[in-house]
A and B are shown apart, each in its own frame.
Chain A
Amino acid sequence: MLVVDPHESYRVRHMLKDAGLDPENVHVPILADPAYTVSATYGAAFQMRIHTEWSNRPTTFVIDRGGIVRYARRANTFDDRPKPDETLDVLKSIKKE
């Protein structure tokens, strides 16, 4: 599991603290993409204005063990994300194949 945030690392730390999480104790890698290059490659960059700033549209990909994209879901609104169970079900169904 990898998470990509289009800001520098110090801003990612602020975001985590803001969400009530301890940046030192988050076991998921939150990766900084301040040049937006990875976000653009994955078609997420600059598609949602979050209050005042243009940022990533929430987007979920599942990539199989062979490195092939098996699932992609782009959010229509800021809170439109698959629930954890939905994402994990996709992962499980890929593993079974």
Chain B
Amino acid sequence: MTAEPIDHRQHDDRSLKTYHETKHIRMNNIIEIGRRTRFKRSSILGRRVFLSTCLASMIGPIRSSAFADEAKRTPKETAAELLKRFDKDWTSLPDRLHMRAVDDGGWKTRMIVLCGLARLGPEAETELIEALDSDRAERRVLAAQGLGFLGGVRSKARLERTLAEEKVAAARLYAADSLGMIGGLETNPLFERIAAGDPNKDVRSHLKFALERKGEAIPERVRADLREYDLTRLETAKVGVPAPDFTLTDVFGQSYRLTDFRGRKGVVLLFIYGDT
């Protein structure tokens, strides 16, 4: 059983309804592979992963810079340079590519820039707050997204304004995400109004998710993961070469490390978009 392709260009009620009605089919297809490979969660594996994670944290992260001469720039200059690089490489999406893969390589720049901004930390906050006023829509979207990973509280008031007034839905959506990620978010009449009445369904959902955190910020470990990401690892998974190792945690808090399967069993590894 597979879901029929749907044209989402118009983003109308009918196509959205069909999309949501077929969501369970797509997810069940994924679960079926797991069932038929008889995969079971393993507590022994979890303990091994914990040990490996401890060892890895003792060795420390490997870094690579977004710019070769990063050390010579001030944080403000680096942030400005990262934003310029984003403007150059990230093309705004034509309608025909909605719900379709974009193959222009812009995603790498988005990752490099987010990673570079996360490394600058609070020093990049002023640049990103200013970027929320940019006349470039994609820059505003990126700034709204990046501020959540920086975690600075100075941006909260400005992000609230983006959530309330920004015309581009993606910027409002990431403003909602970031307000939640920064932490300390409590409901207020403005949020209640937006959660009930924003014209975009995803913005309404994301604001509800942000409020659901009950003020709890994104774990520091997540920020550190982005900050310490070794950019030479970008897109290194290729057929014929060893699968890049990773450790991630499932919904039960159990850790899985890919190389713990080595020598024991093959792995089907699926990346999903996780739409909510």
> Which residues of A line the B interface, CB within 8 A?
1-16, 18-21, 23, 26-72, 74-81, 83-84, 87-88, 91, 94-95
Contacts and interface: CB of A to CB of B under 8 A. Distances in A.
Main secondary structure of the interface of B (DSSP, over half): mixed
B170 A40 contact: no
27 contacts: A2-B268, A15-B274, A19-B28, A26-B31, A26-B251, A28-B34, A28-B35, A30-B251, A34-B218, A38-B248, A39-B271, A41-B233, A41-B246, A44-B271, A47-B102, A48-B100, A53-B275, A56-B273, A60-B268, A61-B237, A69-B242, A70-B266, A74-B101, A78-B8, A81-B30, A88-B36, A91-B266
Main secondary structure of the interface of A (DSSP, over half): mixed
B17 interface: no
Contacts of B201: 51
B197 interface: no
Interface of B: 2-6, 8, 11, 16, 20, 22-24, 26-37, 39-41, 93, 97-103, 106-108, 110-111, 114, 145, 149, 169-170, 173-174, 200-203, 206, 209, 212-213, 218, 222-223, 225-226, 229, 233-244, 246, 248-251, 253-254, 256, 258-259, 261-276
A5 B174 CA distance: 17
Nearest to B274: A5
Contacts of B203: 52
A30 B254 CA distance: 10
Contacts of A49: 93, 97-99, 102, 170
Q: Which residue, of B169, B222, B241, has the highest number of chain A Cβ atoms within 10 A?
A: B222
A65 B264 contact: yes
A21 B243 contact: no
Nearest to A86: B33
A38 B20 CA distance: 27
B244 to A, nearest CB: 5
A56 B3 contact: no
Contact of B271 (A16, A21, A57): A57
A57 to B, nearest CB: 5
Contacts of B145: 54
Nearest to B262: A67
Contacts of A39: 271
B85 to A, nearest CB: 15
Contact of A60 (B6, B36, B270): B270
